[in-house]
Structure 1
Amino acid sequence: MKWLVTALALCLALPLAAQQSTTAPGGTLRVLDKITGRTQDIEFRNGQTQMVGLLAVTMTECRFPSGNRTGDAYTLLTVVYNNSTDPVFRGWMIASAPALNALDHPRYDVWALRCSSE
Structure 2
Amino acid sequence: MMRNILIAFMFCASTAAAAQQATSGPGGELRVLDKVTGIITDLSLTRGESGRVGSLEVKLIDCRYPTSNPSGDAFAELTVTYRDNPEPIFSGWMIASAPALNAMDHPRYDVWALRCMTS
TM-score (norm 1): 0.93
Letter aligned with residue 25 of structure 2: A
Which residue in 1 is equivalent to 2:5? Answer: 7
Percent of aligned pairs sharing the same letter: 51
Mapping of residues 72-87 of structure 1, within 5 Å: 72-87=73-88
**Residues 44-83 of structure 1 aligned to structure 2 (within 5 Å):** 44-83=45-84
User: Across the two proteins, how many residue pairs are aligned to each other?
Assistant: 116
State the secondary structure of the residue aligned to 2:107. coil
Superposed CA deviations along residues 21-72 of structure 1, whole A, max 9, x for unmatched, are 0010001000000000011111000000111110111001100001211000
CA RMSD, aligned part only? 1.2
**In 1: Cα distance, 2:12 partner to 2:46 partner:** 26
Structure 2 unaligned blocks of 5 or more: none
Letter in 2 for 1:6: N
With the length of structure 2 as denominator, give the TM-score of the two structures.
0.92
- Aligned-partner SS, 2:101: coil
Once residues 66 and 47 of structure 1 are traced to their aligned partners in structure 2, the CA distance between those partners, rounded to angstroms, is 21
Matched, 1:42 2:40: no
- Runs of 4+ with deviation above 2 angstroms: 15-19
Q: Which amino acid aligns with 1:47?
A: G
